[in-house]
């Protein structure tokens, strides 16, 4: 998470402090590119720190950009994919969002329950958003009849609202020495 957040911080500093332009394109364009662009936008623009804005961010930088959810998550146990294709890229992004939330708790309209729900939805294979590599594949495979995760989230929006939310136009910062292990997610099924 540290390296991903350092990359996003570099993008944010270049744009906000140096007033520079940034082109983000990592090796294949599906993994680090989505992580860095989405995190940078989240850090710079408070609109993406609302529930509706976070939906727009994920749709734009992940779903519409063609992130390889099916391959990265091994949906449907597709062993035709090489093992090196499996990778928790979206999980890493969500963990980074959680790190930012822990360090900037008043800057997010949503709480960590939304993040956990999104991760559960990612691996549940119930939502069209995460079942294919791109929109064309979703249509071709008839996945459009699966609901969108956002329909469910928006129907229960009150569950995901942070009562600590005080919106400002501040650019978020991330102290790399304050990163934490997200025990409430990673250890939530452990017996006490």
- The pair of structure tokens assigned to 86 is 């499996």
Q: pLDDT of 71-108, one tens digit each?
A: 766 655 655 666 556 678 889 999 999 999 999 999 99
- The pair of structure tokens assigned to 170 is 């501040």
CB crowding 149-158: b at 16 or more within 10 Å, else e: bbeebeeeee
Q: Mind telling me the catalytic residues?
A: 26
pTM of this prediction exceeds 0.85: yes
The pLDDT score that the predictor gives to residue 84 is 58
| Residue 80 region by backbone torsions, left for phi larger than 0, else alpha for psi between -120 and 50, else beta | alpha
- Phi/psi of residue 5, nearest 5 degrees: -65, -35
Up-side HSE of residue 29: CA atoms within 13 Å toward CB? Answer: 5
What letter would DSSP give residue 173?
-
Q: How far apart are CA 185 and CA 139, in angstroms?
A: 32
């Amino acid at each position: 998470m540290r390296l991903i957040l350092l990359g996003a911080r570099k993008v944010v500093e270049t744009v906000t402090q140096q007033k520079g332009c940034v082109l983000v394109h990592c090796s294949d364009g599906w993994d680090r590119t989505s992580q860095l662009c989405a995190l940078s936008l989240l850090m710079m623009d408070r609109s993406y720190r609302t529930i509706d804005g976070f939906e727009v961010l994920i749709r734009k930088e992940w779903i519409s950009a063609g992130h390889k959810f099916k391959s990265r998550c091994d949906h449907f146990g597709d062993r035709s994919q090489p093992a090196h294709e499996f990778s928790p890229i979206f999980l890493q992004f969500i963990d980074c969002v959680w790190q930012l939330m822990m360090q900037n708790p008043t800057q997010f309209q949503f709480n960590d329950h939304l993040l956990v729900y999104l991760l559960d939805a990612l691996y549940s294979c119930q939502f069209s958003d995460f079942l294919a590599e791109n929109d064309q594949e979703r249509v071709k495979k008839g996945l459009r009849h699966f609901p969108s995760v956002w329909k469910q989230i928006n129907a229960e929006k009150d569950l995901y609202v942070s009562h600590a939310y005080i919106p400002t136009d501040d650019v978020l910062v991330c102290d790399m020495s304050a990163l934490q292990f997200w025990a409430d997610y990673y250890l939530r099924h452990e017996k006490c």
